[in-house]
Chains A and B, each alone.
Chain A
């Protein structure tokens, strides 16, 4: 099993829709989790951090399910500008190293 796994998508949704992505992780000892957004040919940018059960920032909600070892990212009222690849990241092996999933691609259409 990979350390971090994501459905590659693409998720094609209309504007205004609610969409959710999951990310599964293998290390049950992980305490913190991260969602990054990556636009085409750009660097990933930190979107949200999750340290306990969840986190909410405007239209974005990240939730953690420790029992099933996955984190989710929910986007409400999708905008065209939300189109991007969403990467999850989990610490692994100390020294604040992060292991990244391969990303889930979201395409929001009019």
Chain B
């Protein structure tokens, strides 16, 4: 079965600093992968998705970018963080073949100060 790893769990970064969050997948190959952000007390907002190596689609204009350098690696980045980038970042992947349900990693809680 699929397992998604995310790190770090918690991050406090100053405004204007760079960001790199990593997500890796075990137990499956060629997964569809998704980055979501959850602001405090809010729902999940889809930021990026990827259906394969080097393939990135952005859902909303923002200060962030994503990359997929390897089949099981999905990276979320920023060159200069804004206060509004604070939130709970979740990496999701298909739960199993033929199912639309996602498995999520344990998330990264980012606070920009």
Contact = CB atoms under 8 A, between A and B. Distances in A.
A85 B32 CA distance: 25
Contacts of B34: 97-98
A96 B104 contact: no
A41 interface: yes
B57 A34 contact: no
A39 to B, nearest CB: 11
B113 interface: no
B52 to A, nearest CB: 11
Given A95-B32, A96-B100, A97-B34, A43 B90 contact: yes
B27 interface: no
B99 interface: yes
B32 A100 contact: no
Contact of A34 (B46, B59, B101): B101
Contacts of A89: 102
Contacts of B103: 46
A44 interface: yes
Contacts of A45: 104
Interface residues of B, number: 26
B28 interface: no
Nearest to B99: A49
A56 to B, nearest CB: 17
Interface string B79-113: 00000000010101011000111111111010000
Across the A-B interface, the 9 shortest Cβ-Cβ residue pairs? A102-B43, A43-B104, A100-B44, A46-B101, A43-B107, A100-B43, A32-B100, A96-B32, A96-B100
Given A42-B107, A46-B103, A49-B100, 8 more contacts: A34-B100, A41-B109, A44-B90, A95-B49, A96-B94, A98-B102, A99-B46, A100-B43
5 contacts: A41-B109, A87-B43, A89-B102, A97-B46, A98-B34
Interface of B: 32, 34, 36, 42-44, 46, 49, 51, 57, 59, 88, 90, 92, 94-95, 99-107, 109
